[in-house]
Chain A
Amino acid sequence: MPKLSPTMEEGQISRWLKKEGDKVSMGEPLAEIDTDKATMEMQALANGVLRKIIINEGQAAPLGQLIAVIGEPDEDIASMLSEAPAAAAPKQEPPKQEQEKPAPQPPAQSQARAAVAAAAPAARSVDNGQPKTDSGRMIVSPLAARMAADAGIDLRSLQGSGPGGRIIKRDIEAAISQPKPEPGYPRVVPAGQVPQIGASAYRDEPASEIRKTIARRLVTSLGPVPHFFLTTEIEMDRAAEMRRGINALDPDLKISINDVIIKVAAAALIQHPEVNASFQEKFVRYYERADVGVAVAIEDGLITPVVRAADQKSLSQIAAEVRELAERARSRRLKPEEYTGATFSISNLGMFGIDEFTAVINPPEGAILAVGAMSPKPVVRDNEIVIRQMMRVTMSCDHRVIDGATGAKFLQTFKKILENPLYLVV
Chain B
Amino acid sequence: MSTLTIRDALNQALKEELARDESVFLMGEEVAEYDGAYKVTRGLLHEFGPKRVIDTPITELGFAGLGVGAAMAGLRPIVEFMTFNFSILATDQIINSAAKMLYMSGGQFKIPIVFRGPGGSAFQVSSQHSQALESWYAYFPGLKVVMPSTPADAKGLLKSAIRDDDPVVFIEQERMYGHKGEVPDDPDFTIPLGLADVKREGKDVTIVARSLMVPLALKAAEQLEEQGVSCEVIDPRTIRPLDIGTIVESVKKTNRVVIAEESHPICGVGAEISAEIMERAFDYLDAPVKRVSGADVPMPYAKNLENLAIPDVERIVAAVREVAYID
Contact = CB atoms under 8 A, between A and B. Distances in A.
**Pairing of A with B:** yes
B285 interface: yes
Interface string A117-158: 000000000000000000000000111111000000000000
Contacts of B286: 141-144, 168-169
Interface in A343-366: none
A163 B283 contact: no
B255 A169 contact: yes
A333 interface: no
A143 B255 contact: yes
Please classify the interface of chain B as helix (H, G, I), strand (E, B), loop, or mixed, using the class held by over half of its residues: loop
Contact of B284 (A143, A161, A162): A143
A169 B254 CA distance: 11
Interface in B307-327: 325
Interface in B249-286: 255, 282-286
Residue with the greatest number of chain A CB neighbours at <10 A, chosen from B255, B283, B286: B286
A162 B255 contact: no
Nearest to B287: A141
A143 B325 contact: no
> Interface size for chain B: under 10, 10 to 19, 20 to 34, or 35 or more residues?
under 10
A170 interface: yes
> Interface size for chain A: under 10, 10 to 19, 20 to 34, or 35 or more residues?
10 to 19
Nearest to B278: A142
Residue with the greatest number of chain B CB neighbours at <10 A, chosen from A146, A162, A169: A169
Contacts of B284: 142-143, 146
Contacts of A142: 282-286
B325 A161 contact: yes
A170 B326 CA distance: 12
Contacts of A169: 255, 286
A142 B284 CA distance: 6
Interface string B109-134: 00000000000000000000000000
Contacts of B287: 141, 162, 168
B325 A163 contact: yes
Contacts of A145: 283
A170 B255 CA distance: 11
A367 B255 CA distance: 38
A230 to B, nearest CB: 45
Contacts of A144: 286
A169 B205 CA distance: 13
B320 to A, nearest CB: 15
B285 A162 contact: no
A162 B255 CA distance: 14
A146 B282 CA distance: 10
A170 B325 contact: yes
A145 B283 CA distance: 8
Contacts of A168: 286-287, 325
A171 to B, nearest CB: 10
A146 B285 CA distance: 10
Contacts of A163: 325
A163 B255 CA distance: 16
Contacts of A146: 283-284
Contact of B285 (A143, A161, A170): A143
A67 to B, nearest CB: 32
A9 B283 CA distance: 41
Contacts of A170: 325
A181 B237 CA distance: 48
Contacts of B255: 143, 169
Contacts of B325: 161-163, 168, 170
A170 B286 CA distance: 9
Contacts of A141: 285-287
A47 B184 CA distance: 86
A151 to B, nearest CB: 14
A93 B311 CA distance: 42
A174 to B, nearest CB: 13
A161 B255 CA distance: 16
Interface of A: 141-146, 161-163, 168-170
Given A143-B286, A162-B325, 17 more contacts: A141-B286, A142-B282, A142-B283, A142-B284, A142-B286, A143-B255, A143-B284, A143-B285, A144-B286, A145-B283, A161-B325, A163-B325, A168-B287, A168-B325, A169-B255, A169-B286, A170-B325
Interface of B: 255, 282-287, 325
